[in-house]
Chain A
Amino acid sequence: MFTLLIFLLIFFGLPLAVMFLFERKLFAYRRTIAWALFFVYTFGFFWDWLSVRTGVWRYDSAPTLGLWIRGIPLEEFIGFYILGTLFIVTVASVMHTLFKNDDES
C-alpha cells in the first residue's frame, strides 16, 4: 500500500531527519528554503504536470492515497515537493558549510 509515499519517506524523509538531528543550524536559512519550495511548487509543479499530461511519466502504476491534483497524487506534493526539496537544499547547504570560502566571512 501507498508505495510512492513509503518510497519518498524512506529515501528523502529519513536522510532528512538524520541531517536535522545532527545539524539543526542548516535549517536556519529560512528564506533560502522558502524560495526553493516556492520555485518547486510553481515551476516544478508545472514541469510535473506537463510531463504527466504529455505522457512522459505516470503515477498510477502503484497504489496511492487516492487524492489527485491535476493528475499528480497528493503524496508527490508532500513527499517529493517538500521532503525531496528539503533534502536537496540540505545536502547543498552541508556542502556549502564544508567548503565555505574563508574570504566570505
Chain B
Amino acid sequence: MLGELSYLSYTFFFTLPLLMMLWVRREFRVVLRRNIKAVFFATLLLTVYGSIVWALALEWGAWDYHMDKLTGIVLPGGLLFEDVLWWFLVSFLISSFVVLARYHEEKGIDVVWKSIRELVKSFRDAFAGLYALTLERNFAVHIGLGVAVIIMGIVADLMVWEWLFVAVAIALVLGAELFNHAIERLATIVSAEHNEDIRFIKDVAAAGVLIIALGAIAVGALVFLPRLIALFD
C-alpha cells in the first residue's frame, strides 16, 4: 500500500509519537534539554556505528530488503538513506528515554510507572465526570435520543460510513452538553448573583450546544429520512 515509502513510513510511525511523548511534556523536556549533550553524542555515535553495521549486515546477507519498499536513495559509502534515518530516530528515542529514566531512577522514581499511574488517574477522573450525565434533564433527553437512534440504526441496517456519522453526532451532542454543564457550574461559582457577562457566557455555551444538536438532527435526517420515505412508498 505504501510502496517505496513503506520503510520510511514505519520508521516515522513507530518513533515520532514516542519522541513527542518524551519531548513535548515540559517536565521531561527540562531534564532532556539539561542533558542535551548526552542525547546528541549518543545519537550521533549510534547513528554512525549502526548505519555502518547495517550496511555490513546486507553485505553479509544477515537479512535482506525488498527494494521496492525503499526509496532507493543511497548515501555516500553505500549507506541506505532509510537505514541511517532508522538509526538516527531509534538512537535519539532510546537516548532520550535513557537520560530521562536514569535521571528519575537516581531519585528513586520509576518514570514509566509514574506516567502510567498519572494516565490511569486522568481517565478515572474523566469517567467520574460522566456522573454529571445523571444531573440534568437535558442529559436524560439526549441519552434517550441517542439510544433511540442506535436502535433505529440497527433496525435500518446502516452501512459503516453511516454509523460513523451517527456515532460522531451522538458523541458531539453529549460532549457539548457536558462542556455546557461545566461552564454553567463554573459560572455559578464565580457569581451567584445576576451578572450580564456571566449570562452572556452561559448563552454562548448553550448556543454552541444548539448548533451541534442541529448538526446532529441534520445527520439523522440525511441518514434516516430516505429510508423512511422508501418505507412509505
Contact = CB atoms under 8 A, between A and B. Distances in A.
A67 B159 CA distance: 44
Contact of A92 (B38, B105, B110): B38
B91 to A, nearest CB: 7
A95 B102 CA distance: 12
Interface in B98-118: 98-99, 101-103, 105-106, 110, 112
Contacts of B112: 31, 35
A78 interface: no
A54 B3 CA distance: 10
Given A11-B53, A92-B38, A101-B35, A56 B102 contact: no
Interface range, A side: 35 or more
Nearest to B45: A91
A97 to B, nearest CB: 8
Interface in B44-81: 45-46, 53, 56-57, 60-66, 69-70
A36 B18 CA distance: 13
Given A29-B101, A32-B102, A101-B35, A92 B95 contact: yes
Contacts of A54: 1, 6, 69
Interface residues of B, number: 41
A39 B14 CA distance: 11
Interface residues of B: mostly helix, strand, loop or mixed? Answer: helix
A18 interface: no
Given A91-B45, A93-B98, A4 B62 contact: yes
Contacts of A68: none
Contact of B42 (A11, A35, A56, A95): A95
A26 to B, nearest CB: 10
B63 A92 contact: no
17 contacts: A11-B53, A31-B110, A32-B97, A32-B102, A35-B97, A36-B98, A51-B7, A58-B63, A58-B66, A61-B61, A88-B90, A94-B42, A95-B42, A95-B45, A98-B41, A100-B38, A101-B35
